Amino acid sequence: YKNSDDIDTIREQRNEKANSIYSNIDNDPRGLWTSVSYVNPARKEDRPNLYYPLFNPITKKEIWHPTNAWKYSKETYSKHVEENRLYWGKDGGNTYPRLKKFISELEGGMVPVDLWTYKDTGTTDEGTKQLSDLFNAKIFDFPKPVGLVSKMMNLVTEPSTEDIILDFFGGSGTTAHGVIETNLKDEGNRRYIIVQMPESVAEGSEARKNNFSNIAQIARERIIRVSKGIKANKIKVDKGFLSYTLTPSHFKPWQNYHGQDPAELETLFSQFEDPLQEGWTEAGLTTEIMLTEGFPLDSRIEAEPAYGANRVRRVSSDFHAYSLLVCLDDKIAPDTIARLDLGSNDVFICLDRAITDQEKLRLSDKGLLKTI
């Protein structure tokens, strides 16, 4: 897979420690370099194709290794000589050459190390302190440190791109916190999606004492408090976020009737004259309509002030060339119907009971109409 164009190599940003091994002791015009051994760990008997004489241009001597092969083929060696990439030491005093590696030729940072220390990522104790400082209480056990999340993001994201970091096990919200902090440091545009089941916190715990009944509430409040801290420091960064809770549908589930009693069937139909569940809310139903119509959760929902007699919301998204205009009032005013301005593909959605059959005809002439 390493040669596939679909594979991205993860690189870590170079730091002073990594760059400190580079120097330019021979004033090479290509700049700073380090070097690696030219000697192959394999014995010459095992790699006979890599066993040939080298030439030291300073001492004018032919060089053989008594036991080992070289790392590179004879053709590659000739190229290294032509490009002046072999370093034989001061006055040619090295027994064997070393191959120059120039810092100017490095691309995309450096290969990350496999083992991360607490100095690079922080510790669970630091994660606990970070959370405790926000809530003035220890409300979550063993949270990840923000530094760990930031380090991972720096490996795979760029500030200039609107990368989305997805965490299906959001916990206390460390990932969201890390995205905000990382964006602050490098003026990035990363976004996050975190998912957390409403797992209950223990009775008598500090979280309960602070009025949190589940972990999802802790994560949501953490994001709010981090954002407030940024606002207090007057730092310009996008602090807004949307929070959704999975609920049953606002629409009554249809129940197929298999009996033969017309009265029972009529009763069933009468129960669905209003297809909505009791207690539905405008915000919740608008969100469900938006999703049912194929619009993503980050769609823009904006009030339309032109329709003063009704509450009309426009739902739009960069992924759709048309908009939804949603009004969930019990009655659509004649003035709203007269003023309604739909694009060629826009959809107007309202309650079926909110308009008469004649008004439905008028609205259908203006564009696509859907009723609930």
Q: Which residue has the tokens 């922080």?
A: 122
**The pair of three-digit structure tokens given for residue 226, joined into one six-digit string:** 């981090």
Nearest to 246 by CA among 282, 198, 286: 198
Mean pLDDT per block of 10 residues along the chain (372 residues) reads 64 77 93 94 95 96 96 96 94 94 80 78 92 93 92 86 92 94 89 94 93 95 90 67 91 84 82 88 95 94 92 95 96 93 91 93 87 94
Domains of the chain, CATH where assigned: 16-105 (no CATH), 118-232 (no CATH), 281-371 (3.40.1350)
Written as one string, the DSSP assignment of 197-230 is: --PBPPTTSHHHHTT--BHHHHHHHHHHHHHHHH
| Residues 171-208: b if buried by 16+ CB within 10 A, e if exposed | bbbbbbbbbbbbbeeeebebbbbbebeeeebeeebbbe
Instruction: Give the predicted TM-score (pTM) of the model.
Output: 0.68
Q: Which residue has the tokens 């965490």?
A: 167
**The pair of three-digit structure tokens given for residue 176, joined into one six-digit string:** 């969201």
Nearest to 135 by CA among 175, 176, 172, 169: 172
| pLDDT number for residue 280 | 93
- Identify the DSSP state of 205: S
| pLDDT number for residue 284 | 94
| pLDDT number for residue 56 | 96
Q: What are phi and psi of 62, to 5 degrees?
A: -85, 135
- N-terminal to C-terminal alpha carbon distance within the chain: 51
Q: What are phi and psi of 83, to 5 degrees?
A: -90, 5
Query: d(Cα 2, Cα 219) in Å, to the nearest integer?
Result: 38
Query: d(Cα 356, Cα 363) in Å, to the nearest integer?
Result: 10
Query: d(Cα 70, Cα 52) in Å, to the nearest integer?
Result: 8
Query: d(Cα 20, Cα 42) in Å, to the nearest integer?
Result: 30
Half-sphere exposure of 149 (CA within 13 A, CB side): 26
Angle at 300 between CA 298 and CA 303, to 5 degrees: 150
